[in-house]
Amino acid sequence: MRAFYAWGLLMPTFEELVHLNLRDHQGYTGDGQGGDGALPVGDTSTARKPIDKRDLRTLLLAPQAAVQSALDAADRAEQAAEDAASVQADIQGATLFAATMATLLASPVTSYPLGTIFTTRKEGYSFEVVALGDDPDLMTAGGVFLRALPDGDGFVSLAQFGAVADGDRYTGTGTDNTDAIRKAFASVYNIKIGWGTFAVRDTIQNLRENRVVKGSGMGMCCSSPIQDRLYFKAPSCILAIGDTATKRVITRRKYRASAADPNDPALAAVIENWGAGSTFKDFSIELFCDYTNAARTNLGANWDVGFFNGCRSNVGLDHVSILGYFRAASTYWDVTDAYGIPNLLDIYGDPVPFPTLGDDDGPEYGRGSGADGCWMHRCEIRGRLARVILGPDRNRTGAAYYDWVTDATYPDDRGQSGASDFRSRDCALRAEHHSNSRMKDPAGYGDTLTYAGMMSEPDFAPAVQYIDSGVTNSPDVAGPTAAARGIVLDDLRYVSREAFSTRLGQVKELYFGRRTWAESAGTPAALTDTLGADIFANRVNEETHFYGHLCTNEDTGRVVWENTVLSIFTKWVYSWQWTQLIDRQGRKRGIDCGIERTATGASGAIKFNVKTGGVIQITPGGVGSGVVLLDAGGLFRFDTASTPVLRSVGSLEANVTLLAPGTEPTNDNTPAEHISFSAFPGEIRFRNRLAVGAVDLSWSLL
């Protein structure tokens, strides 16, 4: 039987090789005319020629070459068979499972070769057949284990891990996708949420650095009431339902000297991020609430935080909407970490990973860095408290901190990373309740309609935002720290009917600019103190908590205010305390910090809380009224007892009277067509005898 050459031609038989290579030993005439020899060509000749060595070598090696060619041909045939089998497996998979992902999962076939790749035609999802021990993501009806594969851009979809988009935002029902989404986030890939509403009953956690999590759109609230949810049905939504979410995140805001001191309250977050440099974009986080129940205690499902960032830098929310009354905050930017303190624990009870270290960094430098460089862009948030950036409470003793993770003490460097260079732009943040009244927390969180209740959880009093971040362990008595500086808030709109709009604590440098502030429609319910009185009528003794449109304390530093429009309810502006208000040229500026309205023939008072001196300016006319009833205002300085020392600046004109300190203004000591002022501890009292009727007095602390 003839073998094949490598190029596919028939090899000569051994007999043919003998004739071919030995014919020359007889010689031939080459005339092509007749002959009587055994050779098929040529004529015999009387001349003899010797056998050529090359021809003899070819003849003798011919059997070995034939055998090797046969072996090579067999190898090629075997490889071709294997290739054909592999091609057949791929063809078989595509044929069976190409229609939809549902078809793939319903397949009764019990076995495919490991490594087989399947792609669904409708969704474009890809999967690889793996063994049970290779941590598969899904299993078909036939018991074939599959691992989700990313698309060409490195994204996997939640549906590839079994998540089902059947959440109902009106009934708070749907498949619990917690485990499926956790498995997706445990992969090394970026995450595509996909189209629809995915319900969860527990926390989703991201531990991966520089991850991108994106959906198909955030929806929007517009200006309709929160309960209407007009235009808010986001193409991609994570819906938090139920009251069983694990309250597990424990920050380090409270100072602890020993195990006997209480920890911060544990928090349940919808999304927990521990991945530095990650971006979340184009989707919605919604907390289920039955908005047909208008009680002020109705805050919906029992979750604490919508998005929690665990002391990781350069994390961003881009075009993300968050809706619902999260008990702590819609977005919580934690700044309580320190380089020497152990990392917190993840959802599995293990320490969250340290961020990647650079070549030149020390062994602890690469860990979390607060909220440095974090950002929000084009986000819309509606609920209790839209944004908090919180570091530790000030520990002015220099004593060590007792940590709960290892039950050991460490140098108290909490908050050392700060929240410098936090950026927020074109966001709409609203603190409002569908009852059209101020919110009232149920038992366990305090009654926020009273001052005492507000004090039980002061960090999470309803507001637009609260920023209090800085280095904690410093023996100084007061003053801002440098850890939270360069914060820029160029937000589109702040809306609040709560006691606060913006609260500031430890902030070194903060810039407000290019923003509109506006109140919600309707008149808010009155906020009362512990005696049931209007909080604004009895605020002089409340030294630890201040209420109003923009409120600060002794740890607030330079604040820049530029190009801002205020449209505020009369009593909402109050208590610029300790803060220097600076314009972009570095000049000190005042701002309207309160408005008092007094009718003709009536008395009024401007109450404040000043401990270190300052200057207050009173300008008749109010904010944005365009009316100046008096030709000049007065500047009032303070002594150490917080009693104003009334001093005129320029001409007071004839319609202002300054009375001696402690003199009650009355009609008897206030001339007609005048307003009289008198200094008392903690307040300035006045009497209005102008004939024009009610007068607004706006005041600001300089």
Domains and CATH numbers, the chain: 14-89 (no CATH), 98-149 (no CATH), 289-301+327-344+373-589 (no CATH), 592-702 (2.60.40)
**Residue 508: both structure tokens together:** 């070194």
Residue type, 356: T
Q: Tell which residue, 269, 276, 271, has the closest CA to residue 248.
A: 269
What per-residue confidence (pLDDT) applies to 612?
44
* pLDDT (0 to 100) of residue 281: 98
Rounded Cα distance between 26 and 483, Å, is 106
Answer whether 0.85 is exceeded by the pTM: no
Contact 297, 442 (CB under 8 A): yes
* Helix ranges restricted to H, 588-663: none
Q: How far is it, in rounded angstroms, from Cα 189 to Cα 211?
A: 7
How far apart CA 167 and CA 40 sit, in angstroms, is 90
Give the residue among 212, 318, 216 at the shortest CA–CA distance from 275.
Answer: 212
Asked if residues 419 and 391 have their Cβ atoms less than 8 Å apart, the reply is yes
H/E segment holding residue 445: none
The CA-atom distances, in angstroms, between 462 and each of 321, 413, 631 are 18, 29, 40
The answer to whether 118 touches 97, Cβ cutoff 8 Å, is yes
CA pair distance 259, 253, nearest whole angstrom: 15
Is 321 in contact with 220 (CB distance < 8 Å)?
yes
Q: How far is CA 91 from CA 83, 85, 86, 98, 415, in A?
A: 12, 10, 9, 10, 58
CA distances in angstroms from 211 to 81, 156, 182, 318, listed in the order given: 43, 12, 14, 13
Q: What is the DSSP letter of 21?
A: H
Coil vs helix vs strand at 387: strand
Per DSSP bridges, beta strands 615-620 and 603-607 are unpaired
Residue 653 exposed, middle or buried by CB count within 10 Å (0-12, 13-18, 19+): exposed
CA 282 to each of CA 85, 156, 223, 279, 405: distance values in angstroms, whole numbers, following the listed order = 44, 16, 20, 10, 35
| pLDDT on residue 402 | 94
Rg (CA), the chain: 40
Residue 140 and residue 463: Cα distance in Å, rounded?
49
In angstroms, the CA 494 to CA 241 distance is 27
**pLDDT block averages, 10 residues each, the chain of length 702:** 45 64 50 47 51 63 70 76 55 59 91 91 92 93 94 95 95 97 97 97 96 90 68 84 94 92 93 96 96 88 96 95 93 89 86 67 52 93 92 82 92 85 92 79 50 58 84 55 77 76 79 65 45 45 44 69 49 35 41 65 76 58 39 57 67 68 92 86 84 68 57
Measure CA 388 to chain center.
Answer: 12
